[in-house]
Structure 1
């Protein structure tokens, strides 16, 4: 019940954000950037005016939002009530999906609490239009999924997509000053843990430029600096030797490692460079401070004064997923997961600029549904990224840090009112310029005509891939989204999408779904999602 309520509240926010942005990219309406001076500081994003006695109602017990209840219409007209607002921090983490694939490869179903649908969805290429400068473009589309036990009823699936500018080439990005904090505890003593970390750092050492700098900190019971901040120029061999010297020992004192890592990052801080702490660990903290918030409090001044963000790279079949996510969220960063050398090359070579550079700080979205057209709605995922509505324009409240080449996608299950036509939602996205910290916003709206049409077999194969990933995640954590096919059907659809898109990542998605279906004994081959049990 509590989890579902969080799901609803996060859902409202992202859909609105998507709606706002939509106007700039599709459908009618207008979209533009505004500065903080032009908009009321800390005021909620504008909500549609209620007419005809329609206003906010209470949240359903399972987390879906019911947009009815005439007794609150006056309050809605005056200032968007909490019932219509959902505010959340943007998120580009992908570790949950990577860890789920690894777990399935090992012949086990992932624990439901480790499954975060937004990280499944954000693991796939979307093809959104990108802006020329910092900030975001927004694309919003949707379709009716059909399928499922009751054909999906009158629910629609809405996709909100945000994209930053294209990632620069290695030669074009600013120099990097990276502090690697490596877990060498006893739990890391296997080829797929410390062995993979050493391989990954070796790949990265060869990939970095001569004007980049790295330092290396290791931790077990205590933390130790193996290498102070060192320029790559003429020192690659020295860095390789330091990486090769790491051997596993003793317990896991993550707090000691993070503190020492930030000390080194501050000592080696380079103005004008991308300064990052990169934590590589199975995140199984068992010594010293083991609370993520308490750990980050001890290095808070370094984070805020120097703008040093934390990038988490998870490894290992037994992985502290929740701890790593909490640590990087509070450390103004993000996390990913690697299981093999192929994934290491993707993270440390193909995606390197996106992990090093920032185009937006403290990015948040606030979404407001129009009660005249929407009866119920549900955001799929983002439960852990919600922000208080009143904090949307409070720039001291953390949002999400987004880099070049990133996309952020959110999916909503939306039930329109009978015969509804017109605006569905208004959304606002707010972010800070990473250099000046000047705030910017982008606003737009989406209408009912943007979510018509059939999902399966439609023109947007990327929307179909997104839906498959979201339905897969929801199934793994025991949900029942409206129109959701069973795992057997999802695997078949993913295989067909892999063929039509010629995308190897979609083929791997199909394999993962097939493994999950077999582990569940094929019991989900008939559609499982009616929506009524989950939403009403």
Structure 2
């Protein structure tokens, strides 16, 4: 198999419409049809990640690395460098040693893959987004005191010559640390088409919404829009205080009907959200669907345009919650991206409880707007690098400090992890990389930056001797890599242990961390291994 294939240079950047000046990445294949909306819960909920200290391998500061950004131009490769090229190297290494992307905290790809494997199937490689696997697990990054981020950079060497995995970890303050969150004005857009009658779809959504209604505050508001062959506002924007019974009745009365006119649902949902928009509140549209659109406007670009317009003019963002064993992934992910939101996937009551109950304050109280990260690799020590995933979140390097260019919205209690495969120059020592995150204050829109860096001496000697949470990150990335091998645009990560060893590593980590999510990861790897025959 060809390794580390790089997309054709000059690919238009999907967010800005400009040609990318950073390393081109493979564009994600759009699956036919439908919606993948899974982040409502993310909109509503509170991150349960526990804060902790870093291992000391990164240095955080309010400035940049001594060499500044952008990184200096790379030195011309020497003959020795050419000889050091191996099967993991990119055919077209980055010309500028910069990597820039918008922050993303989606997890839908991992949860849907896990459900597919549990039911004896094999996920379509095109639906595997490695960054969503990596970001599905708790991290122990140090937390900042106020809004914004802490930055942790660390890494470990693989068993492939000169190759390492480098982790960039960003964390926001724990939920609830800054006092009372603003009130929420949430418009739920619920798919009641015939396909939602399957157990675990509309019934699960109703249970989740009932629970959520009990958890929201009296000064929060909700509206309810349904769609099948047409869309209808079942409940206009209504304050929770004194009206919970009315809201429960509206939720419990929902029944599946006919076809899925997603376009009508999005249009009516945003119209309802605009009409009920509240000043000084967090205004969100939450789309809950299996994403199997088959009626009305099914053109993704048309639907996306409506979301973009509402976001720009009214500041209303979109979050999607995906349900159902047969689920449209790609359009949902695009919709949430276009609507400045993110996606989650709910496969059962445990997932629903985690999304709608445990994470309630998350993304109602924002800590950062338009957040972007830029990693500068030192050309004197780094010969090549590759960002694992984030294909649809690439930002042109020159746009890192252009605050007109869209980034990611991040709430309290979040961690964001980016993993890189990095090939160092033979015998090189010293500074390896500096990571900088830039964001806008959610209230004043003032820009802020924070940086962290790592030296070659800060790398663990082996991935499997690193801290347990680093190992979990590596296992998740290698697992995504294994599932994506059917996609010929993908390239195997260096140090790939294979599913057999990966299962053993995950089992050991589940015992050491006593983390239920890591236990479920180990089970999913076992199911994938059995599926290989």
* TM-score category (smaller protein): 0.7 to 0.9
Report the 3-state secondary structure (helix = DSSP H, G, I; strand = E; otherwise coil) of the residue aligned with 2:436. strand
TM-superposed CA distance for 1:436, in Å, is 1.8
Counterpart for residue 497 of structure 2? 485
Secondary structure in structure 1 of the residue aligned to 2:136: coil
Deviation, 1:277, is 0.6
Q: Deviation of residue 520 (structure 1)?
A: 0.9
**Alpha-carbon distance in structure 2 between the residues aligned to 1:165 and 1:301:** 31
Q: Provide the secondary structure at the position in 1 that maps to 2:361.
A: helix
Q: After the TM superposition, which of the residue ranges 292-301 and 270-279 deviates more from structure 2?
A: 292-301
Change (3 A) 1:163 1:271: same
Q: In the alignment, what sits opposite 1:469?
A: 476
SS in 1 for 2:6: helix
Aligned twin of 2:70:
46
Q: 1:10 to 1:63 in 2, by over 3 A?
A: farther
C-alpha distance in 2, partners of 1:208/1:257? 24
Matched, 1:357 2:369: no
- Matched residue of 1:354: which SS? coil
- Asked if 2 retains the 8 angstrom alpha-carbon contact of 1:96 and 1:115, the reply is yes
Quote the RMSD (CA, aligned, Å).
2.9
- Partner of 1:220 in structure 2? 228
Tell me how far apart the structure 2 counterparts of residues 344 and 7 of structure 1 sit (CA, whole Å): 40
- 2:157 equivalent in structure 1: 144
Give 5+ residue unaligned stretches, structure 2.
10-19, 26-53, 486-490
Moved more, 5-14 or 447-456: 5-14
Distance 1:3 1:371, change over 3 A: closer
Distance in 2 (alpha carbons) for counterparts of 1:405 and 1:467: 22
Contact kept, 8 Å, 2:221 with 2:238, in 1: the verdict is: yes
Q: What CA distance in whole angstroms lies between the structure 2 residues aligned with 1:423 and 1:440?
A: 24
- The answer as to 2:459 corresponding to 1:451 is yes
Q: CA 1:284 to 1:145, structure 2 compared with 1: closer, same or farther past 3 Å?
A: same
Q: Is the 8 A contact 2:152 2:452 kept in 1?
A: no
**Which residue does 1:31 correspond to in 2?**
61
1:175 correspondence with 2:175? no
**Counterpart contact for 2:60–2:151, Cα < 8 Å:** no
- The alignment of Structure 1 onto Structure 2 pairs a total of residues equal to 483
- CA shift, 1:452, in A, is 3.3
Deviation sequence 1:495-517 (CA, Å, 0-9, x none): 11111111111100000000000
Query: Which 5+ residue runs of structure 1 have no aligned equivalent?
Result: 15-23, 35-43, 69-80, 147-151, 522-536
Q: Are the counterparts in 1 of residues 3 and 89 from structure 2 also a CA contact under 8 Å?
A: no
- Report the equivalent of 1:21: none
C-alpha deviation, 1:170, in angstroms: 12
C-alpha separation in 2, matches of 1:341 and 1:194: 12
Which residue matches 1:396?
404
- Matched residue, 1:109: 122
2:298 to 290, 313, 320: 290
Q: Distance in 2 between matches of 1:123 and 1:130?
A: 18
Change (3 A) 1:485 1:52: closer
CA contact (8 A) 1:253 1:289 kept: yes
Q: CA deviation at 1:210?
A: 1.2
User: For 1:284, what is the secondary structure of its paired residue?
Assistant: coil
Q: Map residues 154-169 of structure 1 onto 2, 5 A cutoff.
A: 154-168=162-176
Distance across 2 between alignment mates of 1:123 and 1:28: 22
In the alignment, the residues of structure 2 paired with residue 364 and residue 128 of structure 1 have an alpha-carbon distance, to the nearest angstrom, of 18
2:188/2:287 contact within 8 Å kept? yes
Distance 2:386 2:511 in 1: 31
- 1:497 counterpart residue number: 509
Q: Residue 438 in 1 paired to residue 446 in 2?
A: yes
Aligned residue for 2:469, secondary structure, equals: helix
1:389 to partner: Cα distance? 2.0
Q: C-alpha separation between the residues in 1 aligned to 2:256 and 2:303?
A: 23
- Give 1:276's aligned residue: 284
Alpha-carbon distance in 2 for matches of 1:396, 1:471: 35
1:427–1:180 distance in 2 versus 1, CA, 3 Å: same
> Hey, what's the Cα distance between the residues in 1 that align with 2:377 and 2:317?
34
